[in-house]
Structures are given as structure tokens and as C-alpha cells.
Chain A
């Protein structure tokens, strides 16, 4: 069991790939915002990469273990401590019953950190996933962020604790965190010539967009686009603004929704359907970078790629999240 002493700013139970198969019922997939960091945390403690762990946003989580286990912390460096001593990240560490982990604020690079525990966080799966959808208030631990006094059950470790402790990643495996995140993306479904000018698409794939401070697990808002972005004077029967369209499904996770003049990345808990066009889609293998993008501080650029590179990137990421990455 893991007892929460301080729930911090926003700590959620998340897994990967999340709650797939319910987009058509109005439910987004949710899931870890940085699936790569969660995957490494799980790998280090002997779990399958998609097992449920804690996603720590903004920091200040404090929690106590009610049993001996093995943990790993990945993601942004929130200066975690174990019983007041510095806790090394990106490796698995044995903890004893009664030990306390504590996290500071966000790191210099990246925004979210992940706590993996041997055996995973044991919450009931809802519609096939342990992920929390914070906006709908379902999944995860009682459909909400964690608070002081919560007691989380832990799953059964997949090996002897002494074998799971002290595992590290090979050199060069750890992802590189920056303040300028380059996201590979595929254009569509609404591009030039019919919805966006060619000049507008060129801008999308060259400009550096600051992440607006008003961003969350549903939507990452970016700098506004100029009027010259749009190829149409209005949205026809979809509405008066050229970004309007008759309601269509949003290709989440990863769609860049154009809402009025504001481009918005629709991610984990985003809306499944709506009346605004979508100009590009971040490839699946790069979704994790959005989760490490720090609102109000970091920037995003988009690089256009084709299907082949995107599919290859999925394969490479899967390979990365395997025992072969362990030192």
C-alpha cells in the first residue's frame, strides 16, 4: 500500500495506451501524458511498460510505503527524496515499509514526472484501463487526483525485489529533454488547398509556438495564427469563422485543432468531436514530448514527416521500452 501524505498539485494514476475503443462513445483515451517516461519507470521495476503508475504534474507529492517494494522515478527532475535523502532517478531503488518519498517543484527541463512501483498501482480497470480521466471524473483512483489520506493498493511484483532493485538504463537510452520541443507531425485532415493556404501550412511547419499557460490534460494551447492562415472566408454551414466546420471526430490523441485563430493540441483527456478544423496530427511516437512541454515556458515546433517514418518511429519506441534498454 502507498499512503498519500500530500497530494501535491496534480497526481493521477495513469497507464498506457489508456482507454482505447471508446472515442465513438465520447470517451477519450486518457493515459500517461508522457508514455515514454512511464514506460521506463515500469521497465526499471520489472512491470510491463503500460502498467499503471503515478503521473506527477507540478510536484509536491509526498507519500509513504506500507510495505517493502522497488520504485523508479523518471521524467522531469523534481528533486525527489527518500526519507530526506536524494533519490536517484532513471534507476530502480528498493524501499522499505515506512519509507517516505517526497517531490519538489518542476525541474529545469520537462514538466511531468512518473513514479513506477513494482507490480503497479492496483486500481480497478474501468472500461479496460486504469487511467484517470480528470475532466470526466472517472477511472484511476476514484476518478480524481490524489489527496492526503488516500491509500493506494499495489500490485504483485513480477520478480524477487532484490532482483528488481538497482536496475539502470543503458547509456544513450534516456530521452533528451529540452525547452524547445520538435514534434513530428502528419498534415491533415484539413489542410491546403481547401481549408488552409499553402503559406499557412508553411507557417505551421516553421514557426516556434509558445505553450500557453492555460494548458492542461485536455488541451495544449499555442500562439495564435494570422488571418492569412485560412483559405476560406467563413466556415459555411459550420459557422461564421473560417476555422468552423460541421462537427467531426477529432483524431485524438495528437490532433492540432484550430479553434478560431488559436491552435490547440488535443491530447489525453481531449474532446472527441467538435466543430473546428484540424490541420495536423502529432505522430504517436512523439506524443510524450507534449507531456513534458512546460506551459508558459517551453515552445513547440512541428516537423512534417510521412507515414513510413511515423510507423518506423512507433516500432523503434516499442523496442526502446524493452529489457534490451537495461544496462
Chain B
């Protein structure tokens, strides 16, 4: 199978009706990347399957497997090659894949986390003002002192419609990363799939709890940091270094892979109160429901005429929006 000396595909599994071809790519002397398909495809069903297989493999507690890092269409396996060979690891992954031969088998444990959200709050507004003052005075993504109007413009929708899109869908976490405790959140409902460019150049400061969107992904900032996502509001803490609040007693992270986030709109004061009850009084009760994602049901729904009509309408508006919106 080795075509040239830089061919790093160690093994493959053929495409089936329920999944793409799987490539096992060498990624270091202690790293293996499992990739779904040869094309760069952004499709939630790939993520559902990657996470379902990931759960099976982690439950096996394979000796020498240090950790896994799932992404939307890839999973990175970090292992100790002195304890586990890549060939043995690949064999274990193949077994896990084969244990889910049809789409009916792809069922994923997935919590729904309800997060209050204040649009255009004063803290994230400060971050935008600081950016204009210190980084890019002529930033075209800042309209009337904020990013929401630019987000709407890029997608050919009104600000009210953009807000409704953020509130109108669950946001699925394909895997945590980029920043401690951060989650890459994708819209479950493709009719709510806003797409926006990222800041150019990035911000130097973003407050904890800021909610933003870059490309197709929503991100809630776990700690104060720089950042490049367009800001639309502020939510409550999703991370706590000190692990004082009971929800963080196992570790500083709120999000887990496969979680879904559902935002509901509140006034800014409520966000500030909850910050106090999470970080100081440590008695805030997070609203979290257990649940499942059933890949087959998702695919049936997403391919329904109603959803697809909505997607076509949105895409037409977005094509118009991209033409009109200034580039960053």
C-alpha cells in the first residue's frame, strides 16, 4: 500500500452504507490519527460516529492508551509505544468500528446543557471597544460598537433573525479543545447554521463567559483570553480552575464531548448574579438533562423536505450576504 516514502496511511477500512472510508494515519511515535473519508467534510453524523466509537474504546481501558482527542471528522489517539503498538491499537479501533455495522447502531449519550445568554452585554461590548481602540480602529466587523450587525450582514439576515438562529437550535460539541475546557459547538439544525469570518487580526482580550461564533462554530470562552470569534453576548461560567462549585468537583471542566448546548435569552443582571453563585457562593444549579443522539433519526430529520427547504432558503440569503459584507 506504500506508494511513496511519505505515505503515512498505515491501514484503512472500506466505506460502508453507514460510514465513510476510515484512514489510519501515522501522526508521531506515540500518536495515531483516525480520519473519516478523504474529503474535508463537515457533517455531524461523522462526529456522532467518531464519539460513539470513542466511548467504546475508552470503556475498554486499553493498556498504553494515554488519551483520545476527538474532532469533527478525526480522532487522535495518544499512546505509549513501549506498552502498545500502533498495529494493536488499530486492531482495537477496527473491532470497535465493526461493533457498529449499521447506522441504527450509532446511538450516543448526549446531555443537554441549558445556558442563559445575554445578547450584547456590557462586558463583551467592552472587549469589542478595546479591540477598536487598541487593535483595529477601522474594523469592518464592528458596526455600532458590536459584532452582531456584522454577523447578520454576512448571513443576509436581520439581527433579530440571527439571534433567533442562535436560540433556535441545540449546539453539538464535537470535542473539547483549543483552550482549556473549550467546546467546538456545531448547530444541530442546519437552518440555524450561521457562518462568519474570524477577527483579523485577533482580539487581545475576551471576558470569561463571552459567547462568540467563528466560521460555523460557537464557542463560549472558559477564561479571559484573546480570541478571534465574533461576539454576540455572554453566558455563565463553563469552567472553574479552583473546582469549588460541586459541578466541578471531578475537574475544572463543564463540557464533555457529545454535549448539546441550548441557549435561552436573559437580562445581563441574571448572568452577573449567576457568576456570583457559581464562583463565590458556589450554589448555582446548572440545568443539565441526560439524553441521547440517535444518528438515524437525525439523518431522517435533516434530509426531510421541510428542513432542506429551509437550508436552501438560508443558503440563498447567505450568498447574498457574503456579497454585501465587507471582508476582514
Chain A positions near chain B (C-beta within 8 angstroms): 20-27, 127, 136-138, 143, 186-189, 191-194, 196, 198, 201, 235-238, 245-251, 254-255, 271-274, 278, 281-284, 304, 307, 310-311, 314-315
Which residue of B29, B66, B86, B176 is within 8 Å of A21 (Cβ)? B66
CA distance A300 to B261 in the complex (A): 44
CA distance A273 to B72 in the complex (A): 11
* Top 10 A-B residue pairs of the complex, sorted by shortest distance between their CB atoms: A281-B28, A273-B177, A310-B29, A188-B8, A249-B69, A249-B76, A251-B31, A189-B25, A188-B26, A189-B33
* Chain B hits for A314, CB < 8 A: 29, 81-82
Q: Which B residue's beta carbon lies closest to that of A201?
A: B6
Which residue of B28, B73, B182 is within 8 Å of A251 (Cβ)? B28
* Chain A hits for B251, CB < 8 A: 25, 127
Q: Is the CB of B71 within 8 A of A247?
A: yes
CA distance A173 to B47 in the complex (A): 48
How many chain B residues have a CB neighbour from A under 8 Å? 52
Q: Is the CB of B28 within 8 A of A283?
A: yes
Minimum distance in angstroms from B316 CB to a CB of chain A: 19
CA distance A245 to B42 in the complex (A): 11
User: Given A273-B71, A281-B29, A283-B28, are A187 and B6 also a contact pair (CB < 8 Å)?
Assistant: yes
Give chain B interface residues in 49-82, CB to chain A under 8 Å. Answer: 66-76, 78, 81-82
Number of A-B contacts (CB under 8 A): 157
Q: Which B residue's beta carbon lies closest to that of A247?
A: B71
Which residue of A245, A251, A284 is within 8 Å of B40 (Cβ)? A245
Q: Is the CB of A284 within 8 A of B69?
A: no
Chain B positions near chain A (C-beta within 8 angstroms): 3-8, 25-31, 33, 35, 38-42, 66-76, 78, 81-82, 86, 175-182, 184, 217, 222-223, 241, 251-253, 257
Which residue of A187, A236, A245, A247 is within 8 Å of B8 (Cβ)? A187
CA distance A82 to B251 in the complex (A): 41
Q: Is the CB of A307 within 8 A of B67?
A: no
Minimum distance in angstroms from B35 CB to a CB of chain A: 7
Q: Which of B178, B217, B251, B257 has most chain A Cβ within 10 Å?
A: B178
CA distance A127 to B3 in the complex (A): 43
Q: Is the CB of A315 within 8 A of B82?
A: yes
